[in-house]
Amino acid sequence: MTYAAPSLTIGIEEEYLLVDPQSRNLIAEPTPELWEDAERRLGGSVMREMLRAQLEVATTPHSSMVGLANDLKHLRRTVADLTRDHGAAYIAASTHPFALWWEQRHTEHDRYQMLASDLAVVGQRIVICGMHVHVAVEDPELRIDLMNQVSYFLPHLLALSTSSPFWGGRNTGLKSYRMNVFRTMPRTGLPEQFSSWAEYQRHVEVLVGAGLIEDGSKIWWDIRPSTKYPTLEMRVSDICTRAEDAIAIATVYRCLLHMLFRLRTQNQRWRQYAGMLVAENMWRAQRFGTGSSLMDYGISRLVPFHELVEEMIDVLRPDAEELDCVQELESVQTIIDRGTSADRQIATFEMALAEGASNEEALKSVVDQLIIDTVTGV
């Protein structure tokens, strides 16, 4: 089947945590004035999330990565100014180092109150944030086909984004503990593989018809067809503490979709592997981040992650050239060289302990570092 080329316009949604600069804990009850000011400054680009201690922003769609980067940085700068003006701060991290989930309050909105009620303690403990990247794939059949193929690379995207090594005041030993929290919810994880858009719709309609969900927006896979836009929404990544890392990962995702469509025009496609195999790489990504290896199923052996990234950059360079984002693609190497937010958080924590700080003091130093890194370079 021949498809028209997708536009591949791209947008990002980010979820932030609001923190008290003195206690470094989450602000369980932000002031109404903060929200009123947020809506005045950002309009429809800012939204409330499930927790009152959360704030979500969304860029507009962009045809260039430069435009997307400028938009995202503007949003982050504005949130930094906003929170500072109201005696608060914010962090771009997928978990807070020591906040306790049972002390948080849910937003008074029908959707979030219903989720908290329906999901019981599983939903109430979702004190996590993510980054969602929307890339426009207008043809729904192509959307499903690309979802089937690009799922192979979801562990790579997660490894590059890890920012949640702490939970409840403990170093979990995982680079993305967010994944473990989120996986307790229903309809999460890797997507099913479907032969067509119609098959996907039939499965969604079974759940809707039974009254289990209202629509496909209650399917929280690591990647999914958006119910609001003609996009393929990548949801697997932690939120990146540094804006430039977010842009690098969004660039990789966009280039992957371009590459897969390019292969289709040459009567080729990426080989699809069983979900159990991709899930094995997902576990390694959330456990080790970029610091270990993933399985290359084409050669059936573990390969150091930095080698996989180098190979991925080479494979995607023609696509980055066509999309005019070679620099943004190559900046993924900076994540490998510097480490992810999770790596930096752990290093900050361990350094503070080595210098004689208590566990509580070391955790607060991690929050301080996150506050600084969230606005660095924006």
CATH number of the domain enclosing 259: 3.30.590.20
Domain assignment present for 2: no
Cα 53 versus chain centre, distance:
18
Domain assignment present for 1: no
Q: What is the pLDDT of residue 107?
A: 72
User: What is the model's pTM?
Assistant: 0.96
Domain assignment present for 28: yes
| Full residue range of the structural domain in which residue 54 is found | 10-375
Q: What is the mean pLDDT of residues 368-376?
A: 95
Phi, psi values for residue 142, rounded to 5°: -65, -35
Q: Which of 56, 24, 17, 26 is nearest to 38 (CA)?
A: 56
Q: Taking 90 as the threshold, does the pLDDT of residue 33 lie above it?
A: yes
- Can you read off the two tokens belonging to residue 322? 């066509």
Give me the number of domains the chain comprises: 1
Q: Which of 84, 290, 67, 88 is nearest to 176 (CA)?
A: 290
Domain assignment present for 197: yes
Q: Helix (H, G, I), strand (E, B), or coil: what is residue 100?
A: coil
pLDDT (tens digit, 9 = 90+) per residue, 315-342? Answer: 999 999 999 999 999 999 999 999 999 9
Q: Taking 80 as the threshold, does the pLDDT of residue 244 lie above it?
A: yes
Residue written as token pair 């938009």: 71
Domain assignment present for 368: yes
Domain assignment present for 5: no
Residue written as token pair 């079974």: 206
Q: What is the pLDDT of residue 283?
A: 97
Q: Are 55 and 46 in contact (CB under 8 A)?
A: yes
Distance CA(72)–CA(94), nearest Å, equals 17
**Dihedral of alpha carbons 211, 231, 246, 291, sign:** positive
Q: How confident is the model at residue 110 (pLDDT cuts 50, 70, 90)?
A: low
pLDDT (tens digit, 9 = 90+) per residue, 156-180? Answer: 999 999 999 999 999 999 999 999 9
Q: What is the pLDDT of residue 321?
A: 98
Q: Are 169 and 35 in contact (CB under 8 A)?
A: no
Q: What is the pLDDT of residue 1?
A: 67
As beta bridge partners, residue 26 has 19
Q: Taking 90 as the threshold, does the pLDDT of residue 245 lie above it?
A: yes
* Residue 349 per-residue DSSP state: H
Q: Taking 80 as the threshold, does the pLDDT of residue 116 lie above it?
A: no
Domain assignment present for 3: no
Distance CA(130)–CA(91), nearest Å, equals 12
**C-alpha separations of 230 from 138, 184, 190, 224 in Å:** 5, 28, 20, 11
Q: What is the pLDDT of residue 52?
A: 87
- C-beta atoms surrounding 363 within 10 Å: 26
